[in-house]
Amino acid sequence: MTAPTTGNARERILDAAAETMRTRGVAHATTKEIARAAGCSEALLYKHFRDKEELLKHVMRERLPSFEEGMAPGTGTVAGNLTTIAHGALRFYQRSFPMMASMVAQPSLMEAARDRMSRYDAGPKHPVRFLAAYLSGERELGRIGAAADPEALAALLMGACFQQGFLHYFTAGPDGPDVPESVAADLVDALLPALHLPSTG
């Protein structure tokens, strides 16, 4: 197949991969299908991405809601930053469930994907690590209590976002509206005592 001359090939491939993985699931979305949907050859796809796992990593980072950009310790308010992070995480998990469900349901595929994704330092541990690093930075600046546990708090907040994102996906379906920001604010508000911050309620 000859690739169309309009548009950036990498961006078209990412768009096609995101849609194919959303509708078919990661386990069943092949690079051949993705290339066809992008209007290019499979060879061109492999010029931009080494394998499907690298393509998945970039889909997750560039085509799903982000909750990491522009978030640095010492900027804004801690409660406001955490609410922004949580809202992005809720939307990320809501949108990623249809993509990942088929892979999670098949242990052999899950094991293979886990091994291959580790080469790109990617996987479900990344959001918790990001949030823990952010909270550690805020603790060093004295903006949260010295006794606060960044790793435990990050796991609690991201775990809650994962669960609420799934519940919203289950209720609203794959094309439903985003989780309201008020849900994120409520989750963060529940954590504020552990951060030694005043409640926003």
What's the CATH number where 27 sits?
A: 1.10.10.60
pLDDT of residue 22: 85
- Under the banding of pLDDT at 50, 70 and 90, the label for residue 152 is very high
11 neighbors 90 (Cβ within 8 angstroms): no
pTM of the model: 0.77
What's the CATH number where 123 sits?
A: 1.10.357
More confident residue, 70 or 177: 177
Look up tokens 């708090």; give the residue. 153
108 belongs to a structural domain: yes
The whole domain housing 26 covers 9-60
47 belongs to a structural domain: yes
The stretch 153-162 carries a mean pLDDT of 96
Domain count, the chain: 2
1 belongs to a structural domain: no
If you average pLDDT over every residue of the chain, what do you get?
86
Whether 125 and 168 share a structural domain? yes
User: Out of 51-65, 91-105, 176-190, which region has the weakest mean confidence (pLDDT)?
Assistant: 91-105
pLDDT of residue 120: 65
Whether 52 and 120 share a structural domain? no
64 neighbors 95 (Cβ within 8 angstroms): yes
